[in-house]
Amino acid sequence: MKKILVLGAGLSTISLIDYLLKNAEENQWQLTLGDIDKELAIKKVNGSPYGRAITFDVTDEQNTLKVISDHDVVISMLPAFMHMKVITKCIELKKPMLTASYATPEVKALNEEAKTAGIPIMMELGVDPGIDHMSAMNVINRIREEGGKLKSFYSFTGGLVAPEYDNNPWNYKFTWNPRNVVLAGNGVSKFINNGRYKYIPYHRLFDRVLKRKILNYGDFEVYANRDSLSYREIYGLEDIPSMYRGTIRRPGFSKAWNVFVRLGATDDDYIIEDSENMTYRQFINSFLRYDPEMPVEIKLKLYCVNSCDPEVFKKLEWLGIFDKRKIGLKRATPAQVLLKLLLGKWAMDPDDRDMLIMQHEFKYEVGNEEKMIVSAMAFEGENQEKTAMAITVGLPLAITTKLFLQGKIKRTGIVLPITEDIYKPVLDELKTFGISFDEKEYMMG
């Protein structure tokens, strides 16, 4: 019997646990699910003879060491900031560890230690990061084998509401952490275009969207992610002239969202005075000039000249930004006020399904030809529990765990799913769950 320890039984663990329990008998696995809330873990194990639930508190160092040492492999679904505590103990106890979270510089610095311990710490095994790495490397390595030289790699991912349930003027609902959506892009966005480094300040980010057809799935728009440059190293593309990663939204989203950005309504760094007794209308007005002779609506239009067209205005009005409803939040930042407003409007309905959409665009030279490969996938969730996000995070992590326990992945150190031994079997099995990439090849010029 191999003993698997899953730490954290939160929202995105459902597909992971389902998969592990379904494959437990055949593979002779015993699953332990630990969470600070034991009831939640019990619910997720759902009476399976191959699973048991325990109370797990990562801040209890002694118990954490004991629990980890009792298992053969650890999967951490804890919040990202808790991973270091788990990783250092896994290295100490020589226990392999897998997670969907980012390999931070702090984690990467443990590469040699993990190698010495003879175990892999496998990171970025979910989606963005995860499936994006696997599917990108799958094409990049093929191009290399063909003798091609990559000139440009654009990659986009988005979590959206599935088309059948897309019924608001923003064509958007919260399918993942809403706070992260409100703060998205805050900072600077960096990429490289034909050898020129490009930096977009936050207040212009949603102004500079790319329009894109996503293979088979229609029209979308994309805004740049914060750091596209660091991915060059991950993919071994240090010299690539163009590299850009972005987030997918439905057309028109960014132009309207940009109004909030330009107002300063997404700022999370200061407290609005008397936010509790303010109305949403006053909130919007607080970013506009004082003018007792003009309604807030007109002032907003004047503030956002060139960008506040009727389509944008319709979206804003639909949110209720001009309502005289009290905010009722004490000591709130602008971002917190905006989040409260949006939660009332962009929440998924109980029957809604979400969708994950991803597209890679590779341009490369081979011989005397310039070619382009577009590789895209879209995947709908099943319901509010088995969301596209939960499935696409949980499945590749679960499959990689299986492959590892079956001895098919023999690596040590800090490992990302960018080598064929990992991405090929994972992508192959993901296809059986309907998570598959369509590909199209073009000739340029």
> Interface with a second copy by CB under 8 A: which residues?
187-188, 190, 193-194, 196-201, 203-204, 208, 229, 262-264, 267, 269-270, 272-274, 282, 285-290, 292, 305-306, 334
Shortest separation between residue 270's beta carbon and a second copy, angstroms: 5
The distance in angstroms from the start CA to the end CA of the chain is 58
Residue with tokens 């309604």: 295
Q: Which residues have C-beta within 8 Å of that of residue 116, sequence separation ≥ 6?
A: none
Shortest separation between residue 110's beta carbon and a second copy, angstroms: 24
Q: Which is nearer to a second copy, 133 or 262 (CB)?
A: 262
Residues 229, 191 contacting (CB under 8 angstroms): yes
Instruction: Give alpha helix (H) positions in 231-347.
Output: 231-234, 253-263, 280-285, 296-303, 310-319, 334-346
* Helix (H) or strand (E) run with residue 222 in it: strand 218-224
Bond before 129 cis per omega within 30 degrees: yes
Burial-class residue 195 by CB neighbours within 10 Å (0-12, 13-18, 19+). exposed
Shortest separation between residue 316's beta carbon and a second copy, angstroms: 17
Q: Which is nearer to a second copy, 230 or 383 (CB)?
A: 230
What CA–CA distance (Å, rounded) separates 53 from 282? 49
Q: Which is nearer to a second copy, 298 or 347 (CB)?
A: 298
Q: Which is nearer to a second copy, 280 or 404 (CB)?
A: 280
Q: Which is nearer to a second copy, 151 or 411 (CB)?
A: 151
Shortest separation between residue 200's beta carbon and a second copy, angstroms: 7
Shortest separation between residue 198's beta carbon and a second copy, angstroms: 6
Shortest separation between residue 157's beta carbon and a second copy, angstroms: 22
Of the candidates 212, 218, 310, 202, which has an alpha carbon nearest to the alpha carbon of residue 256? 310
What CA–CA distance (Å, rounded) separates 318 from 169? 8
Shortest separation between residue 221's beta carbon and a second copy, angstroms: 15
Q: Which is nearer to a second copy, 186 or 384 (CB)?
A: 186
Q: Which is nearer to a second copy, 199 or 318 (CB)?
A: 199
Shortest separation between residue 334's beta carbon and a second copy, angstroms: 7
What CA–CA distance (Å, rounded) separates 148 from 236? 14
Tokens of 239: 């010299």
Shortest separation between residue 140's beta carbon and a second copy, angstroms: 22
CB neighbour burial string for 408-428, b if at least 16 within 10 angstroms, e if fewer:
ebebebbbbbbeeebbebbbe
Q: Which is nearer to a second copy, 190 or 371 (CB)?
A: 190
Shortest separation between residue 321's beta carbon and a second copy, angstroms: 15
Q: Which is nearer to a second copy, 289 or 410 (CB)?
A: 289
Q: Which is nearer to a second copy, 244 or 364 (CB)?
A: 244
Backbone angles phi, psi at 328, to 5 degrees: 70, 25
Q: Which is nearer to a second copy, 145 or 273 (CB)?
A: 273
What CA–CA distance (Å, rounded) separates 241 from 154? 11
What CA–CA distance (Å, rounded) separates 20 from 75? 11
Residue with tokens 């993901």: 430
Give the bridge partners for 30, in sequence order. Answer: 3
Of the candidates 215, 211, 220, 210, which has an alpha carbon nearest to the alpha carbon of residue 158? 220
- One-letter amino acid at 381 equals G
- Return the ∠ at Cα 196 (arms to 248 and 442), rounded to 5°: 55
Shortest separation between residue 153's beta carbon and a second copy, angstroms: 15
